[in-house]
Each structure stands twice: as C-alpha cells, then as structure tokens.
Amino acid sequence: MSLRDPVVHAIATFLVTAVASCPAFSAFAQEMLPRPDEPFKGHFGRTAKDSRPDFRKEVTPRKNAPNILLILTDDVAPMSKAEIVLEIIVLLQGTPLDNFARENFIAHGNSAVVRCAINTTLAMAEGQACKRGVATALRRYSYRFTNAQLGVLADLYVNALDNLEPAALVRVRDRMCDPSSNESQHDAAAARAVCERLSMDF
C-alpha cells in the first residue's frame, strides 16, 4: 500500500480530517512544544517602586501525569562539507592562520580542497607555506574543533598532501595510525582523524 495510490490517499485524507475536527483532539492540538512564554503581566515603571514584577510560574506535571521524558532537538540535519569548512574558517579567526584559512579552505562538491595546494608545488616557497599552514591548523588548533570538524580538517590536510607530496601519504598514514608515534602522543584526536581518512584510500 502506498499513499500514492488514489484510494489510499483519499482514505488517509478523510481520517486525518475526521480526527482533526474532533473537539477533544482540537483541544489537545492547541498544546505547543516547547510551550511559548506567557505574556508579561507586570508593569515597567520609571523606577523600581513604580514597577510590578511578573515572575514566570514553575511548570509542574498534572496529577497522575505519565512519567515521560520528552527531548526536543533543533537543527540536527547533517551538515554539508561546505558548511563544516566554513565553521573551521570561523574557528580559526583570531589565530595566525586566519587569512590563510579564509583564502585557501574551500569545498568543491563533496570534497574539501586547499586552494594553495592546487596552485603551487612543494618545490616552491609557497608550497612549503601551504603545507605548513594546513598542518598547523590540524596539529596546533585541533582542540577548537568537534570530531566532525576534525574529520573535514583531516580531509583538507590529506588533499594538500595529495597535491603537494603524494609520495608521503602512506608514510603519514603509518605514522598517524601508530599510537606510539610522536603525532599520536602529541594529539591523539588529530592523528586518529587523519588515520581514519587515509585508511579509506590505502
């Protein structure tokens, strides 16, 4: 059965309309979650003496209310890679990498890309600066990021290496995946993010 079936769709529409028009259901449907704040019934005077407070009443369950915990969440849809790259750029504001991140961290489709790694080589000073900038963002400022953001930052790091020094990828993976390496000892979260990203390719 599918709602695309005209007969099923007609029956479903009838049931929804019938239930919604029921007085008992209509009264219940007026409840909003989260409940809106009650209008302020106090008075703001020119001084404290001229004012009348209106403190919010404590919400208490009605008698014999069921023991149910309701958790409301908001904005929990998965973020796109472009949105996470933007978050990384914002979180690097105020650091020496502020301009570097804004100018070079981008998302192209579902790929995180480091612009300077495309436009230069490791043999050039700009290429060295590009590699150093991405590595610094990952290793020095990893504490600023969530796991999801670290994963995308690892994407950026791997993208830079893939363009600037592709022969180093396997060596970097082995180092980052080794719990006893200096990288893992210094920052386990950053090393794990790069290890997981590189393990997808090698």
Q: Which of 18-27, 53-62, 79-88, 151-160 has the lowest mean pLDDT?
A: 18-27
pLDDT at 146: 92
CA–CA distance, 80 with 108 (Å, rounded to integer): 11
Q: How confident is the model at residue 17 (pLDDT cuts 50, 70, 90)?
A: low
CA–CA distance, 190 with 202 (Å, rounded to integer): 18
- 159-178 per-position pLDDT tens digit: 999 999 999 999 999 999 99
Mean pLDDT throughout 114-122?
A: 92
Q: Which of 130, 127, 131, 140 has the alpha carbon at shortest distance from 92? A: 140
pTM score: 0.62
pLDDT at 30: 46
pLDDT at 49: 83
Q: Which of 157, 163, 106 has the alpha carbon at shortest distance from 136? A: 157
Q: Check if the beta carbon of residue 43 is closer than 8 Å to that of residue 52.
A: yes
- 86-101 per-position pLDDT tens digit: 999 999 999 999 999 9
